[in-house]
Amino acid sequence: MSKPIESTTTVPLHDGAKIPIIGLGVYQADVGEETQQAVRWAIKHGYRHVDTAALYRNEEDVGKGIKASGVPRDQLFVTTKIWNSAHGYDNTLAAGRESLKKLDIGYIDLLLMHAPGSSTVSTWQAMAKLKEDGVCKSIGVSNFGIHHLTELQKATGILPTVNQLELSPYLQNREIVQYCHANGIVVEGYSPLTKGRKLNDPLLVEIAKRYPGKSTAQLLIRWSLQQGYVTIPKSSKEERIKANIDVFDFELSQEDMDRLGQLEEHLVTGWDPTTSPWNP
């Protein structure tokens, strides 16, 4: 990115909204106090973006954590997602409204289709209706490959604002990223820490030594940010939540960015959008 990246940096969406460049993911955070506390800690340490989903079953607790934070609603950005079992026009309308009811925060900033599924087109059309009705401000997708994106636009004429997919130096999805950039779709990366699988990679450890006080996890997050991706690290532990946002006081050199860029090995820890079939 041309300007220095800060914790308050936002990325413009093509519909005029702006999304914070870093957010807290709450996948697998337990229902109840664990999620509520993680959200409170994240906001305390400077996060202004929380990413949840109907599938995670903790939307209600995200909402409670936000209310307890003391930060005004309009200063926060909340993402949730429509799961595949709620695909189809009427099901999606109901699911979007149910998510908002559970969150109880007035509106959803970004509603994503969690993955392509059995009724992708009608689901997308319902999401556009939810935006029109004020349930959400923006709509996007997650785990979509190029074939999903092209077919969705061809069928509906509505371009997603965001495509959220797994991204790390070990899984770069270059062709999808290039397609998104060329078409004005913001790229958002989840699992930047490879679910811990690569934190002890010798090359990563070697590079981290050149950045005093920075961990390999922080290097992975910083790589993602310098790629220009909106980045969603997840944790429910305060120390790690704080460390994951403590990545704005250093910059990876171009040499190190290039070395990390050579680590591609198609390490999928979640969903592979390149192999998922198109299910309209």
Residue 1 has pLDDT above 50, yes or no: no
Query: Chain-wide mean pLDDT for the chain?
Result: 95
| Among 55, 68, 141, residue whose Cα is nearest residue 98 | 55
Q: Which helix (H) or strand (E) holds 169?
A: none
Top pLDDT among 31 and 228 is at 228
Split at pLDDT 50, 70, 90, the class of 131 is: very high
Q: Which amino acid is at 113?
A: M
**Which tens digits make up the pLDDT trace of 52-108?**
999 999 999 999 999 999 999 999 999 999 999 999 999 999 999 999 999 999 999
Split at pLDDT 50, 70, 90, the class of 278 is: confident
**Which tens digits make up the pLDDT trace of 170-226?**
999 999 999 999 999 999 999 999 999 999 999 999 999 999 999 999 999 999 999
DSSP of 49-115: EEE--GGGT-HHHHHHHHHHH---GGG-EEEEEE-GGG-SHHHHHHHHHHHHHHH-SS-EEEEEE-S
Residue 29 has pLDDT above 60, yes or no: yes
CA distances from 72 to 48, 69, 75, 134 (A): 10, 9, 6, 19
> Of these residues, 47, 56, 170, 179, which one is catalytic?
56
| Among 198, 191, 271, 270, residue whose Cα is nearest residue 229 | 191
| Among 176, 255, 271, 180, residue whose Cα is nearest residue 223 | 255
Per-residue model confidence (pLDDT) at position 3: 66
User: pLDDT over 70 for what percent of the chain?
Assistant: 99
Top pLDDT among 244 and 117 is at 244
Look at strands 186-190 and 162-166 and give their pairing: parallel
What CATH number was assigned to the domain covering residues 10-261?
3.20.20.100
The reply to whether 56 belongs to the active site is yes
Residue ranges covered by each domain of the chain: 10-261
Write phi, then psi, for 152 (nearest 5 degrees): -65, -45
The answer to whether 11 touches 18, Cβ cutoff 8 Å, is yes
